[in-house]
Amino acid sequence: MLIVLLGILTLQFDLNSFLGSLKQVPLGYLLILLALQCVTQLLLNYQWCRIGKAVGSPLGFVKMFYINAQGTLMESITPGVKVGGEVVRAVLLKKELDCSADKAVAIVALQKLFSLSAFFGLNLLALFHISQVVAMPGHLQGMIYLILLLLTGLMLAILFFPAKISAWLERLSPEHKWMKVGKGFLVELLVHTAKLKDSRLEWWKQFGLAAAIWFLFPVKLFILVYAFSFNGSFLFTAEVAFISYLMGMLPLTPGGLGSFEGTMTGLLLLMGLAVYDGAVITVVFRFITFWFVVLMSIAVVACWKIYQIRGVKDEANTTITQCAYSNQHDPGACGHLSG
C-alpha cells in the first residue's frame, strides 16, 4: 500500500522545480519552517488526544499520531483535503478504542467542529478585509459570505446549544432508515458535545488550540515572504494563507493541488512580489505544509507497521521459548500446539 501511495505522490511532485525553489530560501528560514510544521502536527495530535479524554475514550499520544498519519495519507490522494482522511480516522478510532461507530464518528466530528468553526470564522474576517483591496463581483462575494456564515453558524450552534438541539431531535420520528441512522449519529455527537461543554476550561482550550493551529499557517507564510521581501504585511499574509486553504478544501483535485497554488500565487502578486518570487514562495510553502507532512506520515506508518511485525515475532518467539522450557519439565504441556 505504501509503495503504491509513494508512486501516486511522486507523479504529482515535480522534484526539479522544488529543488530550484528550495535554493532560493536561506537554510535558517527553512529549518524554522520545518520546526514550526512539526509543532503544528504535535498540537493537532494533542487536540485529538484531549477530545478523546474529555469524552471518556482516552488514546495514547503515539497511537493517535499513527491514526493521524493514516488520515493524512488518505487526504493526500482524495479530492478536497479532508473527507477521506476523516473516514480513515473514524475507522481506526473505532478499532483502537473498541467503541461504537457512532462514538468514533462523533469524536472526529467534534474535532472538525472546533477546527472548522475557527477556520471559517477567520476566513470571514479575511474576506471582509481583502474585499476592500481586491475587487470581487457583488453576487459572488455575497454567495461566499452566505455560505461561510451558514457553515460557521451551524457549527457554533451545535457547539454552544447541544442540549436544545438534542431535545428537538428526540421529538422527531424519522421513517426512512438512513434518517434514523443520521439521527442516531447526531444524538451521539450532541451527547458528547454537551459533556465537553460541561467542562468550561476544556471547552475554551479546544477553541484556543484550534485558533493556535490555524494561526501557525500565516506565521509560516509570513516567514517565507519576509525572506523575499521586507515589505510584507502580516495581516494581508494571514488573509492569503486562509483564503488559499479555503480554496484548497474544495473537492476539485487530489489534496487540493492546483487550486491552492493558483490562489496563493495570485494573491501574493497583490503584495507587490514578482511573479517568480510568488511562485517560489507557494511551492516551498506547499512543500512545508503538505509534502513534508505526507513524507512524515509515510515514515510514521512504516515505523508503526515494522513495530507491529516485530512485536508479533517477539511474541511468537516468547511462546516457543516458554513451550520448550515447559516440555523439558513437563512433556506434553504444549502438545496442543502441535495438534
**Residue 174, domain member (yes or no):** yes
Cα 238 from Cα 10, distance rounded (Å): 30
**Residue 212, domain member (yes or no):** yes
> The pTM is what?
0.79
**Residue 94, domain member (yes or no):** yes
Give the C-alpha distances (Å, rounded to integers) separating 316 from 23, 200, 246, 309, 325. 50, 48, 49, 11, 14
Which tens digits make up the pLDDT trace of 39-84?
999 999 999 999 988 888 888 899 999 999 998 888 777 655 466 7
**Residue 322, domain member (yes or no):** no
Cα 138 from Cα 209, distance rounded (Å): 34
**Residue 333, domain member (yes or no):** no
**Residue 18, domain member (yes or no):** no
**Residue 317, domain member (yes or no):** no
Burial class from Cβ neighbours inside 10 Å (0-12, 13-18, 19+) for residue 48 reads buried
Cα 191 from Cα 103, distance rounded (Å): 10
**Cα angle 109, 113, 119; round to 5:** 135
**Residue 237, domain member (yes or no):** yes
Count of structural domains within the chain: 1
Domain with 81 in it: 2-8+39-306
- List the single range of 22-31, 179-188, 221-230, 284-293 with lowest mean pLDDT: 179-188
Cα 288 from Cα 266, distance rounded (Å): 19
- Higher-scoring residue by pLDDT: 137, 67: 67
Which tens digits make up the pLDDT trace of 253-285?
555 556 788 888 888 888 878 777 888 888 889
pLDDT of 10 reads 47
